[in-house]
């Protein structure tokens, strides 16, 4: 198969981790007789420096016209003083909205080899951590009106959060369908004791539930959910939630699996052209030192093969290769265990990529 992939290396550790993922894709292409072509896209801080804006229209067009997009990470302290609507992150939001990828899928699954790296007590980890957060990605407060005005001599900032029934319905359906493919348990997370958007969310989810009788729907308030994720993560199968709650809960969920550096994500809309990115940020403090963990990005590339290109065998191959490298005790700094570290070998970003590729050949 021939596929055109738009590649956004981004800022900070972005270029290093994407580089490793592309080399993995090259090995897969050769092994299975595919042709992957890469179209470089500037986005984030580097695009601000080069083009004066975080995602020029021509760059967005390249993404929309590709078969899928692979992204490293964007942002960094260099652009902290840039006005809000010109920040690197704004490029990412424009990309998500421009591609129409409303459904962000963030798995929280513990690799057995990394159980030691989880900050949770072993008796909690042993019960299993394997759930998915389905996060609404192009609505809510991220995309509402943002403004700061002077009222009665002081600054007043406003961020509007709104959700229409149809926006909730389309992500709700993804939640139910994801649960149908797994253990048939869906937890809808909101703050319906306070927010109108959450009350509409709750009502919509319960209306939809009638169409999915094989899925057990439960509701949970977001503050309780934050607590339950560390207290008893084994209770979750699929969580569906709005944009900002999903942003926060997915960082928490990644941490209990050992490290945010391991977690890939897919974002999909109406077409098979998806956006694939690790859920971590650009980590400017460790950029350029060859110590970042490329696994989140490599697993994102695997998700791209699985969900956008229908290449399940190839995706399994990459995931198995990662597992074998972990079996052999190789770890990047972020996944070194707190105890028994002498049983592991600490490696950098390029070495980790190379080890994974060796398992694929
Ligand atoms: C994420 C990130 C982004 C978000 C930032 C960089 C805008 O935290 O993908 O989770 O909040 O969505
Ligand atoms: Mg986040």
Q: Give the count of alpha carbons within 13 A of 71, CB side only.
A: 29
Show the DSSP H helices in the chain as ranges: 14-32, 45-51, 57-64, 88-99, 122-125, 165-181, 196-209, 222-231, 243-256, 295-307, 312-327, 349-360
Mutational test site, ligand 1, from 103, 281, 284, max ligand atoms within 8 Å of CB: 281
Q: How far is the CA of 312 from the centre of ligand 1 (A)?
A: 27
Active site residues: 142, 191, 223, 247, 251
Going 238 to 239 to 242 to 248, the CA torsion angle's sign is: negative
Reduced to 3 states (helix: H, G, I; strand: E, B; else coil), residue 166 is: helix
Average pLDDT over residues 36-57: 97
CATH label, 119-256, candidates 3.30.750.24, 3.90.870.10, 3.30.70.600, 3.40.718.10: 3.40.718.10
State how far the Cα of 185 lies from the Cα of 218, in Å rounded to an integer. 8
Cα of 280 to ligand 2 centre, how many Å?
7
Q: What is the CATH number of domain 1-102+261-361?
A: 3.40.718.10
What pLDDT is recorded for position 84?
82
Give per-residue pLDDT as tens, 96-151.
999 999 999 999 999 999 998 899 999 999 999 999 999 999 999 999 999 999 99
C-alpha 158/C-alpha 303 separation (Å) is 37
Per-residue pLDDT for 340 more than 80?
A: no
Question: Which residues have CB under 8 Å from 99's CB, separation 6+?
Answer: 60, 63, 64, 69, 267, 269, 273, 275
From atom 5 of ligand 1, which residue's Cα is the shortest distance away?
Answer: 89
**3-state secondary structure string, 255-284?**
HHCCCHHHCCCEEECCCCCCEECCCCCCCH
**279 CA from centroid of ligand 2 (Å):** 6
Quote the pTM value.
0.94
The three-point CA angle 122-126-130 to 5° equals: 120
Strand partners, 132: 107, 238
Domains 1-102+261-361 and 119-256 share a fold: yes
Residue ranges per structural domain of the chain: 1-102+261-361, 119-256
Express each pLDDT in 268-312 by its tens digit.
Answer: 999 999 999 999 999 999 999 999 999 999 999 999 999 999 999
Q: Above 80 in pLDDT, residue 339? A: no
Mutate to test the pocket of ligand 1, among 10, 89, 276, 282 (most ligand atoms within 8 A of CB): 89
Using CA atoms of 322, 179, 228, 218 in order, give the dihedral in degrees to the nearest 10: 180
Whole-number average pLDDT of the chain: 96
* Digit-coded pLDDT (tens) for 208-239: 999 999 999 999 999 999 999 999 999 999 99
Q: Taking residues 43-52, report their average pLDDT.
A: 97
Is the torsion defined by CA of 36, 40, 45, 46 positive or negative?
A: positive
Closest atom of ligand 1 to 96 CA is 12
Tokens matching residue 54: 């975080």
Give the closest residue (by CA) to ligand 1 atom 7. 89
Burial class (CB in 10 A: 0-12, 13-18, 19+), 119: exposed
How far is 175 from 182, CA to CA, in rounded Å?
A: 11
């Amino acid at each position: 198969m021939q596929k055109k992939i738009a590649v956004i290396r981004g800022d900070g550790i972005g270029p290093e981790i994407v580089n490793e993922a592309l080399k993995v894709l090259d090995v897969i292409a050769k092994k299975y007789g595919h042709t992957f072509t890469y179209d470089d896209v500037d986005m984030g801080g580097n695009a601000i420096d080069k083009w004066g804006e975080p995602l020029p229209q021509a760059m967005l067009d390249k993404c929309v016209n590709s078969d899928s997009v692979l992204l490293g990470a964007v942002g960094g302290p260099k652009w902290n003083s840039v006005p809000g609507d010109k920040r690197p992150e704004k490029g990412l939001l424009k990309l998500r909205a421009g591609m129409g990828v409303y459904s962000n899928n963030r798995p929280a699954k513990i690799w057995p080899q990394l159980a030691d790296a989880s900050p949770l007590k072993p008796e909690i980890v042993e019960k299993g951590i394997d759930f998915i957060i389905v996060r609404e990605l192009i609505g809510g407060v991220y995309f509402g009106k943002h403004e700061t005005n002077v009222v009665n001599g002081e600054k007043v900032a406003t961020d509007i959060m709104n959700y229409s029934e149809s926006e909730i319905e389309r992500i709700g359906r993804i939640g139910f369908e994801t649960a149908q493919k797994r253990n048939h348990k869906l937890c809808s997370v909101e703050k319906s004791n306070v927010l109108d958007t959450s009350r509409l969310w709750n009502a919509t989810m319960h209306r939809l539930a009638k169409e999915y009788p094989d899925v057990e729907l439960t509701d949970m308030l977001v503050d309780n959910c934050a607590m339950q994720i560390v207290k008893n993560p084994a209770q979750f199968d699929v969580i569906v939630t709005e944009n900002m709650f999903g942003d926060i809960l997915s960082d928490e969920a990644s941490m209990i699996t050992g490290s945010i550096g391991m977690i890939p994500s897919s974002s999909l809309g109406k077409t098979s052209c998806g956006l694939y990115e690790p859920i971590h940020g650009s980590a400017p403090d460790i950029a350029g030192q060859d110590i970042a963990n490329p696994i989140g990005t490599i697993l994102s590339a695997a998700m791209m093969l699985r969900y956008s290109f229908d290449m399940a065998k190839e995706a399994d191959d990459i995931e198995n290769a990662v597992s074998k490298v972990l079996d052999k005790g190789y770890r990047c700094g972020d996944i070194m265990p707190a105890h028994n570290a002498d049983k592991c070998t600490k490696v950098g970003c390029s070495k980790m990529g190379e080890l994974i590729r060796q398992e694929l050949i």
